Amino acid sequence: MAESLNAQTGGPSARRRPPEWIVVLARAAVTRRGRLGLALAGLIVAIALLGPILAPKSPTEFVGMPFAPPSGGAVFGADVLGRDVLSRVLAGGLAILTLAAIATALGVSIGTSLGVAAGYMKGPVDEVIMRTLDVALAFPQIILALLLVSIVGPELWLVCVAVAAIHAPQVARVARSATLRAAEEDFVRHTEAFGLPRWKIMLTEILPNIVSPLMVETGLRLTYSISLIASLSFLGFGLQPPAPDWGVIINENRIAILSNPWPVLIPILLIATLTVGVNLFSDAIARSALGIEAPIGPAQPNAGGIAVGAAGTTRSRAGAAPL
């Protein structure tokens, strides 16, 4: 956090040290937990992105009888209408990941804005924002999403808005807590002495110094977004058949899970693997920010001149003090 103050006063370390959140990400990426999380999440993302290209058949092409067992022409058999399970699964991941990413970004952006404003402005502004968000938190997540979506119908943009509305209050609480701590730091007081507008202080001083907890929260929100959107698709409020979607695929084929379980098991395994991967990397970020998990191997300097040592400390080549 002292980087901002050093930049104001021309301190030498501020010119060499990258932002703290970049250091935390780099440190998390080289831990065992972080590597495993990135590997799992990256595998599922690659399947979702490349799946429509690699699918052996069209997701709407009929290859056999309904719920036909695996065969040479269909590795995982056929679904409820006789379509290739593998092709539909490969083509169905991109939609859910895209919707989850958009909903997460929207929810985190709104929640961060409200939380930073509440934590820094304090007083009546804090009370109005947080008490309003407390009302939203009182509703169960899935019920609130169903209420919002059922008003207009299964529109994809509304699904994103509904999931973002669920995330915003919880992100706001995290952002407010981090802002209350950051607002008491000397570098913020130093900036306030120059008479800068409050919005500029929140944008240039507060926000860059609360990125680390927000990164952890973003990872958690992403996993919740995936689960919520898959649940809404399962209930018929997401993508509509015959469009391939992992939630839709599970719902369509659950009636014959004993005849051919692959149409149900494969999407569930993919969603579960992605959730575990994102959670592992989020946990690695949290541990690295607290300095309680050491990277693998000897210290390696990164492009910004930062060496991440075995004890998890961070120093510049010039010998600057640990963050």
pLDDT of residue 90: 93
Q: What is the pLDDT along the chain (323 residues), one digit of tens a residue?
A: 444 444 444 444 445 567 777 888 888 888 998 999 999 999 999 999 999 998 888 888 888 888 888 887 788 988 888 899 999 999 988 988 999 999 999 999 999 999 999 999 888 998 999 999 888 888 787 787 888 777 777 788 888 998 999 999 999 999 999 999 888 888 888 887 887 888 888 888 888 888 888 988 999 899 999 888 888 888 888 777 788 889 889 988 988 888 889 999 999 999 999 999 999 999 998 888 877 765 665 444 443 444 443 333 333 333 333 33
Q: In terms of Cα–Cα distance, which of 233, 223, 276 is closest to 254?
A: 233
Alpha-carbon gap, residue 5 to 13, rounded angstroms: 11
**CB of 220 closer than 8 Å to CB of 279:** yes
DSSP assignment of 106-165 equals: HHHHHHHHHHHHHHHH-HHHHHHHHHHHHHHHTS-HHHHHHHHHHHH-S-HHHHHHHHHH
Alpha-carbon gap, residue 308 to 295, rounded angstroms: 7
Q: Does domain 94-243 have CATH number 3.40.50.1220?
A: no
Residue 135 burial (C-beta neighbours within 10 Å; 0-12, 13-18, 19+): exposed
pLDDT of residue 293: 64
- Mean model confidence pLDDT for the chain: 81
pLDDT of residue 15: 52
Condensed to tens digits (0 to 9), the pLDDT of residues 5-37 reads 444 444 444 455 677 778 888 888 889 989 999
pTM comes to 0.79
Q: What are the sequence ranges of the domains in the chain?
A: 94-243
Alpha-carbon gap, residue 113 to 60, rounded angstroms: 43
Residue that is written with structure tokens 């946990």 in the block: 283
Residue 312 CA to chain centroid, in angstroms? 24
pLDDT of residue 259: 85
Residue that is written with structure tokens 């970020």 in the block: 285
Strands (E), the chain: 300-301, 306-308, 314-316
pLDDT of residue 36: 94
Alpha-carbon gap, residue 232 to 142, rounded angstroms: 8
